[in-house]
A and B are shown apart, each in its own frame.
Chain A
Amino acid sequence: GIQVEQSPPDLILQEGANSTLRCNFSDSVNNLQWFHQNPWGQLINLFYIPSGTKQNGRLSATTVATERYSLLYISSSQTTDSGVYFCAVLGSSNTGKLIFGQGTTLQVKP
């Protein structure tokens, strides 16, 4: 099955710094999503981005489907950005199942 790898596994930033999170996937996908899981466990959908670039405030994401990777950019980080960031893909078999990476744990210090 499709493998999803995220890097780095852990990231510590000072408030105001920028960061880039990476997601590599092993096969062609037709659905890629980025999620943020806050310290209370809630998974929030950040982007649905099978290809191209999207921006939402201080966050933006780019997926290069032909090269099988996606990047999540966080600019001017805030303490509320802390948590775990997951990317998840849907295989081309179109089963509805999301395959999650292991996540990147981000800690933003004041």
Chain B
Amino acid sequence: DTGVSQNPRHKITKRGQNVTFRCDPISEHNRLYWYRQTLGQGPEFLTYFQNEAQLEKSRLLSDRFSAERPKGSFSTLEIQRTEQGDSAMYLCASSSQGYYGYTFGSGTRLTVV
């Protein structure tokens, strides 16, 4: 297992377009998280899955954002009608039961022009 994998690494999109990011967690981790990080800030929580169930969503996750984790494996994060304020690094992390030792992916850097 090579850790948490995120694709793509970079995405440049025009305002108003839809984008989708993928996260493949560590296979034995049943918990998966999405965070967003803007320049000079710490990561901010977006949403959390335990297996295929989405158990918590931040108020940062507006109705333009949707996340899925079908079958409790990989996860996708979709942003519809992107805005310039969506430009950020989107980080995925996974962990096993007990919230011990999160492992983060390398992130997807989104630039909305």
**Which residues of A approach B to under 8 Å, CB–CB?**
4, 31, 33, 35, 40-45, 48, 86, 88, 90, 94-103
Contacts and interface: CB of A to CB of B under 8 A. Distances in A.
Contact of A43 (B40, B56, B91, B100): B91
A96 B91 contact: no
Given A42-B104, A96-B56, A31 B45 contact: no
Interface residues of B, number: 26
B101 A33 contact: yes
Interface residues of A, dominant DSSP:
strand
Contact of A100 (B42, B55, B58): B42
10 smallest CB-CB distances across A and B, nearest first, come from A100-B42, A43-B104, A97-B45, A96-B48, A48-B101, A100-B43, A41-B107, A31-B99, A42-B106, A86-B42
Contacts of B103: 45
B42 A88 contact: yes
A42 B56 CA distance: 24
A48 B107 CA distance: 21
Interface in B84-113: 89, 91, 93, 99-104, 106-107, 109
Interface in B29-56: 31, 33, 35, 40-45, 48, 50, 55-56
Contacts of B100: 31, 48
A40 B99 CA distance: 25
Nearest to B50: A96
Nearest to A47: B101
Query: Among the interface residues A31, A40, A44, A97, which one has the most CB atoms of the partner chain B within 10 A?
Result: A97
B42 A97 contact: no
Contact of A96 (B55, B89, B104, B107): B55
8 contacts: A43-B91, A43-B93, A96-B33, A97-B48, A97-B58, A98-B35, A100-B42, A103-B42
